[in-house]
Structure 1
């Protein structure tokens, strides 16, 4: 037992260059941010996350804030940002000023390509709000050229962040279809949700569209329907190439999948 304890302590005390690369926290009045990058695999792909530590009472925005707010902007140099995930958000604010985002600390899992070694920088721009909104701007740099040892604490944190992402569509919890209104300013979304769950929260996203907060969810036979305002509809778009994503929250369950819009 003593040998195991000694080995565990030795792992935690290894030089930081040999562990998962973690930037210092950038601190602001409303929230702090840092970047964590695990060692890359043989193909140069690395799991990573943007760690947003909101302070009590502060909020930040989802990838489509619903017409009021600043969507997060993250660009990466020294590697390629190949994927970023967002946990299912919440509707925040009131009827006069509502938006979509998070009111608790949140971690955004990322996948980086070409992270074979050397510095990686994430340039981040976020809006965080309480009584006022302030911009959080930061260049978060990590050195990924260490010895490839994975810090178990950081790996656990990234795995936990990945576990918060919405699940895939499945029987009983899936999109059915979406339909444009005659003027193109609304999409009526039909979906299935688990029996006995609370009425679902409905969110749409997909650049270059911008969507508002969904209206009340109503029954339509065995399905549910919600109307989502379209705040910006580009003149040209290809939904086969860049589909609109439907994100649902029903009770404790969340789901995300492409929505077929007719």
Structure 2
């Protein structure tokens, strides 16, 4: 698969467009290799949050990226533009990815259509809102196509649409479960250049892969599984790390097995 250098993605956006704010979901935005739309469902909850999805429909043979694709590629992003009203933030969530090796590099993503849950938080709960979202993502076949679109919607127009509610519910249910002591990951050793992760798997799991997200100045190589006395270990190269350890948060990870997947955080190092 031919890759476009990251620095060129924004200037080489293949397609741009705006969909009108006529409903609580946008029309499909068509692009080479697939199409995208934004969907919301239901009114805001007690905390002023509205549930939705970034719906990515891929043509056969096309792929898209996970939240941290690896050493090349750009993860899907959704940013709220200044023309939105009463929207404080938007946060994407990601189902478990797959590991891909195209002969050029190993990367994390999806080789099928995928719906990414998104949570919109209102600035003032109880007040009307309008969502104007700038979307940027890459989809790939033999070459990678950067896709940029502006999607507009009014979440109050049709909040009880049954099809939209089913899509949002299905996407949320497809997310990895929270990690737990008997199914999750922990750091067992680290030095300046590498960390070793031990994975705990559910009984009967026949395979496992580990994905870690670089953020706050951290970036990582592709985790490689290593064997040690029956333990399930992954060696991860540390490519970059900040001078100072962040005071809050942690390193997000997803552990994918044949018996399901979980996500959690590891302490900064």
TM-score bracket, normalised by the shorter chain, equals 0.7 to 0.9
1:230 counterpart = 2:238: yes
Offset of residue 213 of structure 1: 1.5
Instruction: Tell me the secondary structure at the aligned position of residue 74 of structure 2.
Output: coil
Question: Which residue number in structure 1 is paired with residue 142 of structure 2?
Answer: 131
4+ runs deviating over 4 angstroms: none
Q: Tell me, what secondary structure is at the counterpart of 1:131? A: coil
Q: Please say which structure displays the higher CA radius of gyration.
A: 1
The residue matched to 1:216 in structure 2 has which SS?
Answer: strand
The more displaced of 205-214 and 126-135 is 205-214
Match of 1:6 in 2: none
Correspondences of 1:75-114 after superposition (within 5 Å): 75-77=79-81, 78=84, 79-94=87-102, 96-114=104-122
Give the match for residue 35 of structure 2: 32
Contact 2:225 2:235 in 1 (8 A): yes
- Given that 1:88 and 1:254 are in contact with CA atoms closer than 8 Å, whether structure 2 keeps it comes out as yes
Instruction: Pick from 224, 230, 242 the counterpart of residue 215 of structure 1.
Output: 224
Q: In structure 2, list runs of 5 or more residues that go unmatched.
A: 1-20
Matches within 5 A, 1:1-262: 21-38=24-41, 39-41=43-45, 43-77=47-81, 78=84, 79-94=87-102, 96-114=104-122, 116-146=127-157, 149-181=159-191, 184-208=192-216, 209-221=218-230, 223-238=231-246, 241-260=248-267
* Aligned length, in residue pairs: 240
1:80 Cα deviation (Å)? Answer: 2.6
Counterpart contact for 2:95–2:175, Cα < 8 Å:
yes
Deviation at 1:117, TM superposition (A): 2.2
* 3-state SS, counterpart of residue 152 of structure 2: strand
After superposition, give the CA deviation of every residue in 1:60-93 in whole Å (9 maximum; x if it has no partner).
Answer: 1111111121122210242133532101111112
Give secondary structure in 2 for the equivalent of 1:156. Answer: helix
| Distance verdict in 2 for CA 1:220–1:27, change over 3 Å | farther
